[in-house]
């Protein structure tokens, strides 16, 4: 470890009132917990995207069966298209966040030491 990492670990350990070794072990365990949490988030985003697509396909009506162009929704209140568009935009933002979490998931499961060093040095994205 370099000097900056050792200082950050020592500072964190002194704030918590424990030793450097104990703080390192806690952070190593936190790497796995963080990876699991991020993986659950990614799975949630994928399932919600599939659900959003299915709801859209169920609500949309086909005007011309030859070209299959959707033209609004058959059922539901007025303004449902706007609600679905907002939901799609929110889902796209969540999808971008989940893509950014892939590195956190990989390093949390397969290289927790790297995860700890990233978080001690403040070089983590999410």
Q: Quick one: 101 exposed, middle or buried, by C-beta within 10 A (0-12, 13-18, 19+)?
A: buried
Q: Please determine, for residue 15, whether its predicted confidence score (pLDDT) is greater than 60.
A: yes
Cβ neighbours for 43, distance < 8 A, ≥ 6 positions apart: none
Q: Please determine, for residue 23, whether its predicted confidence score (pLDDT) is greater than 50.
A: yes
Q: Report pLDDT for 120.
A: 81
Least confident of 5-9, 58-62, 103-107, 117-121: 58-62
Backbone angles phi, psi at 46, to 5 degrees: -65, -45
Interval 85-106: pLDDT, tens: 899 999 999 999 999 999 899 9
Q: Report pLDDT for 64.
A: 43
Query: pTM of the entire structure?
Result: 0.77
Q: Report pLDDT for 39.
A: 96
Q: Report pLDDT for 63.
A: 43
| H helix runs in the chain, sequence order | 3-16, 20-59, 80-100, 102-110, 112-121
Interval 54-65: pLDDT, tens: 888 887 764 445
């Amino acid at each position: 470890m370099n000097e900056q990492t050792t200082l950050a670990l020592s500072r964190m350990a002194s704030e918590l009132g424990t030793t450097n070794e104990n703080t390192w072990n806690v952070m190593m365990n936190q790497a796995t917990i963080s990876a699991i949490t991020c993986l659950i988030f990614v799975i949630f985003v994928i399932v919600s995207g599939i659900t959003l697509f299915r709801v859209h396909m169920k609500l949309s009506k086909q005007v011309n069966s030859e070209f299959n162009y959707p033209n609004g929704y058959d059922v539901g209140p007025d303004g449902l298209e706007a609600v679905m568009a907002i939901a799609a935009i929110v889902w796209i933002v969540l999808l971008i966040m989940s893509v950014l979490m892939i590195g956190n998931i990989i390093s949390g499961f397969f290289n927790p030491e790297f995860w700890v060093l990233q978080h001690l040095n403040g070089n983590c994205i999410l």
